[in-house]
Structure 1
Amino acid sequence: MDAPTTAKWMLAAIEREGCIYQDDVVDYLVRANAEHLLRENSDGNPVVGTDVLTAFRQLT
């Protein structure tokens, strides 16, 4: 799993469902054993990493 693939999945989910939640993306990446695409926020929670967000911005 890489950042561009995740970004494409996110865009498809938005087109299909109308929105996407960060928790859903985090769950998707954890289940795909792609924790390397996550980062930890200031509260210690996993959030979508910069590489994924950059790839998503390039798509949109």
Structure 2
Amino acid sequence: MTPKDAAEWLLEQFNAKGFLYQEEAASHLYHLNDDALTYFDGNGNLCIGKSVLTLFNKMTPDAVYERGDKLWRDRLLSDLPGRQQ
């Protein structure tokens, strides 16, 4: 799976539910055994690969990332400007 394929998969999941949990998405991509799709950060957390995330962010300009819940969701009128909430 290419980073573009992975980003499209993320988009499909996001569109199907209206939200996407980071941990769930990263775990799915990790099990594809492709080092370009995920990595472990300095704290040992599994993360979505930066190239995948860059593409996904371009595909979802109206989505926001909630740091507390670690998920992407549709933007609400009450959200502050910016990607992260």
TM-score by length of 2: 0.61
Structure having the higher strand fraction is 2
Question: Please, what is the CA RMSD of the aligned residues?
Answer: 1.4
Aligned to 1:24: 24
Gaps of 5+ in 1: none
Structure 1 runs (4+) greater than 3 angstroms displaced: none
Q: How many residues align?
A: 60
Aligned residue number for residue 54 of structure 1: 54
Over the matched positions of the two proteins, sequence identity in percent amounts to 30
Asked which structure has the greater RCO (Cα within 8 Å, sep 6+), the reply is 1
Whichever of the two has the greater Rg, that structure is: 2
The more displaced of 14-23 and 25-34 is 25-34
Q: Name the aligned partner's letter for residue 15 of structure 2.
A: E
Give the gaps of 5 or more residues in structure 2: 61-85
